[in-house]
Amino acid sequence: MARKFFVGGNFKMNGSISSIKEIVENLNKATLDPNVEVVISPSYLHLLLVRENLREGLEVASQNVYDKPNGAFTGEVSVSQLKDSGINWTILGHSERRTILRESDEVVALKTKYATENGVSVIWCCGESLEEREAGKTIDVVSKQLAALKAQISDWSKIVIAYEPIWAIGTGKVATTEQAQEVHKAIREWLKTNVSDKVADETRILYGGSVNEKNCGELSKQADIDGFLVGGASLKPAFVDIINCLK
Ligand code: G3P
């Protein structure tokens, strides 16, 4: 089965009302490859602004979501609130949340279960630190993160996996095409062995970490790279070139 190429833009805690409007206007007027699924993820504060102004066909994601129904959870946002606002995606398990906010593999897996079971698709992130890579533990770390996810998930159709080596995030140090492909291939093999051939075949695996308009072309040619989760470059006009990298 052909996996539809996917490009996500993770704005992180960046942007003002005017800069976000500018990004949306740029995307609205751009000619985008119709064969690419595009999902952009501004901060909670800008989700509605983006959803109300972004052209149809482009989706919006939150950067986190809570795994309980509406109620007394100060500071959190629920899955039903996202859906009510036309937000059909969320990022979960980004390394910045795993490390700075101390979200464990289990917490991320439970949130992923809740979101997908309640109709919100998930860009689920995984990846190793520099120390873990240098110790030769990359595949072990990612496999452990995947195993925690598998313990909670039965329907994988609403999950896109984003492999983001922590050492490549915001550092300008992109993984080489070989390094990225090696881990993507290992993730697909893990899915084949531990979940099913179908899930391995159908699940999109994105690469994230210093992707830009110059390196996206080569990365996109790798057999197991099905798209990107872009940070810094998603705030720039060149994001359009990344979306169109298959052309
Ligand atoms: O989620 C995207 C990300 O962490 C990569 O960020 O700025 O290195 O593209 P960046």
Q: Which atom of ligand 1 is nearest to the CA of 91?
A: 1
Which of 94, 96, 103, 213 is catalytic? The answer is 94
Q: Looking at 96, 103, 128, 164, which residue is catalytic? A: 164
| pLDDT at res. 174 | 84
Which pairs with CB-CB distance under 8 Å and at least 24 residues apart come from 42-46? Answer: 42/11, 42/15, 43/11, 43/12, 43/13, 43/14, 43/15, 44/77, 46/11, 46/15, 46/17, 46/20
At 123-159, the pLDDT tens digits run 999 999 999 999 999 999 999 999 999 999 999 999 9
Closest protein CA for atom 2 of ligand 1: 231
Which residues sit with their C-beta closer than 6 Å to ligand 1? Answer: 10, 94, 164, 169-170, 208-211, 229-233
Compute the distance from residue 9 Cα to the ligand 1 centre, in Å.
8
Predicted local distance difference test score (pLDDT) of residue 1: 64
The confidence band for 65, taking pLDDT boundaries of 50, 70 and 90, is: very high
Beta-carbon contacts of 178 under 8 Å, excluding residues fewer than 6 positions away, are none
Ramachandran area for residue 89 (φ above 0: left; ψ -120 to 50: alpha; else beta): beta
pLDDT band at 160 (very low <50, low <70, confident <90, very high): very high
Residue-wise pLDDT for 80-100, tens only, equals 999 999 999 999 999 999 999
Q: Note the ipTM here.
A: 0.98
pLDDT for the residue 218: 97
* pLDDT tens per residue across span 176-217: 999 999 999 999 999 999 999 999 999 999 999 999 999 999
Nearest Cα to Cα of residue 181 among 213, 242, 224: 224
Q: What are phi and psi of 199, to 5 degrees?
A: -65, -40
pLDDT > 90? residue 172: no
Q: Give me the pLDDT at residue 173, please.
A: 85
Query: What is the residue with the minimal CA distance to atom 9 of ligand 1?
Result: 231
Taking the centre of ligand 1 as the mean of its atom positions, its distance from the CA of residue 128, in whole angstroms, is 14
52 given a catalytic annotation? no
Question: pLDDT grade, residue 247 (50/70/90)?
Answer: confident
Task: Please report the pLDDT score of residue 175 as a whole number.
Answer: 87
Strand-pairing partners, residue 90, are 62, 122
pLDDT tens sequence across 30-64: 999 999 999 999 999 999 999 999 999 999 999 99
| Atom number in ligand 1 closest to CA 12 | 1
Cα of 203 from ligand 1 centre, angstroms: 21
CA 63 to centroid of ligand 1, rounded, Å = 12
pLDDT at 36: 98
Nearest CA to ligand 1 atom 3: 231
Q: What's the gap in Å between 153 CA and the centre of ligand 1?
A: 26
Average pLDDT over residues 219-232: 98
Residue 71 has pLDDT above 90, yes or no: yes
106 is catalytic: no
